[in-house]
Amino acid sequence: MSEQQFYHALKVDRDKCFGCVHCMNECPTDAIRIRDGIATIRKDWCIDCGECMKACPVDAIYVEQDDFDDIFRYKYRVAILPSVFIGQFSKVISVDEIIEILKGLGFTHIVPAEATVDVINEAMLEAYDSDIEKPLISTFCPSIVRLIQVRFPGLVHNIMPIKPPIDTTAIYYRKRLIDEGNNPEEIGIFYVTPCASKIATVKAPVGEDESFVDGVINMDFLYNKVYHILKNRNVAREANETDAFEYISPKALRWSLTEGESSSMKGRCLAIDEIHNVIKFLNKVENDEIINVDFIELRACDQSCAGGVLLSENRFLTVERMKKRAENLEQMQIKAKEISFDHHQYIKERLSIKPIEPRSMMGLDNDMATAIKKMERVRRIMCFLPGIDCGACGSPSCEGLARDIVLKDANLSSCVFMQRMMEKSKKLDPQHSIRIIEKTWGKDRLDKDCYKKGAKNEGN
């Protein structure tokens, strides 16, 4: 099985990070280690879920993004805008007003990311009737797809080979502009992302040779720009729900929320959000503890995209506002403009993705047989470790340290308990123990002023 490289949007600011281990403890795939007093992210294991970024108390973990000015390289500048962006604003702010400001910032066209969900849903229902192994899992959340590749490789065949809305909407709108007579070279498609994982999937798509999106805009950055313009306006405009996106529907508004997909599927469907909840559930699925489920909607963020790490507003308020907008559209019987038959067929012909391949067993080895042998070594090493998962070795758990030892990224002496035992049996010099600790936590970690003052006072 060949090694598959992934782009990662999450980065560590070494000037801010001081190795507090909050991120390491929260990472659902054990992708973070502390080395030389700084958090490091293992690319093979990271799924860009953003849990580390949320856990960091000093904002040392950030999202690498495209420069907003990149949009001006194109004559036609299209913003693929998720509905959760609108959901961050109060109901007194109309959708039309938000779009007006976005166009004032430089975009020439604004299209909801969920504009093509009806086409996707149609394909999902067809997949339900096909021979794809159940329970079916959608590709909507890139972190979930990568989680399955890394931690649950036996379930990759349950993933439906259907593009997510970010891709289908980009394909559709580019085709629409070309059909209107515009030069394809002058069209730039930019996705306004609520999370890190969708940046990663644009830069290195899974199941695709290339992305259909030209760039990614940080939603937090764009929201703050719009918010400050609205705040500085002297006259508030009256909200008007008839100004909503021409291709948005109540179903599309709810699609990115929890139960958005599952409510539109057949059979027994379940919706699970928040990455740790998803992992617990997939463990049960993998162990055949959950049966007779036809479709599971899995989202890495709490409250799905409304809980994305790049959203500024409270996720619960965002969900409430979006559901209220959807209800208003239903009550007012406002129907979304339908995609033309030709464009519908054009999208449907391009919905499929390549089969998604599992990644190596948590990065132990590309060859499965070798990886299994290394897993056996991990189990043997675990017999020597205390099993209390203190993290003092710079790894998130004793099992994590055992993996690191097998990968030659750590030694048995990295464990402070093993150090004491080796010192007791005269197999390790105390000064060497200090050097091991400094290698993990940095030379200055134990060089505290309070220690110096305490030692001085004791000497007096």
Specify the pLDDT at position 372: 87
pLDDT at 450: 47
Q: Which pLDDT tens digit goes with each residue over 405-420? A: 999 999 999 999 999 9
Tell me what pLDDT residue 110 has. Answer: 94
Q: What is the pLDDT of residues 24-47, one digit of tens each?
A: 999 999 999 999 999 999 888 899
Distance, in Å, from the CA atom of 416 to the CA atom of 436, rounded to the nearest integer, reads 9
Mean pLDDT of the chain: 88
Q: Which residue has the higher pLDDT, 281 or 204?
A: 281
Give the pLDDT confidence score for residue 240 in this predicted structure.
Answer: 46
pTM of the shown model: 0.87
Q: What is the pLDDT at residue 54?
A: 94
pLDDT at 4 over 70: no
Mean pLDDT of 377-381: 94
Which phi and psi angles does 32 have, rounded to 5°? -110, 140
In single-letter form, the type of residue at position 437 comes to I
Is the confidence at residue 244, as pLDDT, over 50? Answer: no
pLDDT at 451: 46
Check: CB of residue 159 under 8 Å from CB of residue 148: yes
Q: Does an H or E element contain 40, and which?
A: strand 38-41
Give residue 342's pLDDT.
94
Average pLDDT score over residue span 333-354: 88
Residue pLDDT, tens place only, 191-203: 999 999 999 889 8
Q: What is the pLDDT of residue 433?
A: 84
Residues 6+ apart with CB under 8 A from 319: 87, 257, 258, 303, 306
* SS3 category, 200: helix
Cβ atoms within 10 Å of 171's Cβ, excluding its own: 21
pLDDT of residue 193: 95
Question: Which residues contact residue 454 at a Cβ distance below 8 angstroms, ignoring those fewer than 6 apart?
Answer: none
Task: Give yes or no for a contact between 419 and 433, defined as CB atoms under 8 angstroms apart.
Answer: yes
The answer to which of 143-157, 249-263, 329-343, 390-404 has the lowest mean pLDDT is 329-343
Distance CA 374, CA 432 (A): 28
- Whether 299 contacts 275, CB under 8 Å: no
81: which strand partners?
112
pLDDT at 86 over 50: yes
Termini Cα distance of the chain = 65
Helix (H, G, I), strand (E, B) or coil at 446: coil
Measure the CA–CA gap between 111 and 96, rounded to whole angstroms: 12
| Domain architecture of the chain: domains with CATH | 1-64 (3.30.70.20), 68-348 (no CATH), 363-460 (no CATH)
Q: Are 147 and 28 in contact (CB under 8 A)?
A: yes
% of the chain with per-residue pLDDT over 70? 91
Statement: residue 236 has pLDDT above 90? no
Q: Is 387's pLDDT higher than 70?
A: yes
Q: What is the mean pLDDT of residues 360-385?
A: 84
Candidates 337, 335, 353, 347; CA nearest to 179 is: 347
CA 52 – CA 40 distance, rounded (Å): 11
pLDDT value at residue 2: 42
Which residue in this structure is represented by tokens 């730039």? Answer: 188
Confidence of residue 5 (pLDDT cuts 50, 70, 90): low
Say whether pLDDT at 3 is over 70. Answer: no
| Percent of the residues in the chain that have a pLDDT greater than 90, as a whole number | 68
Mean pLDDT throughout 61-65? 90
Contacting residues for 307 by C-beta, under 8 A, at least 6 apart: 273, 274, 301, 315
Q: Are residues 163 and 139 in contact, defined by beta-carbon separation less than 8 angstroms? A: yes
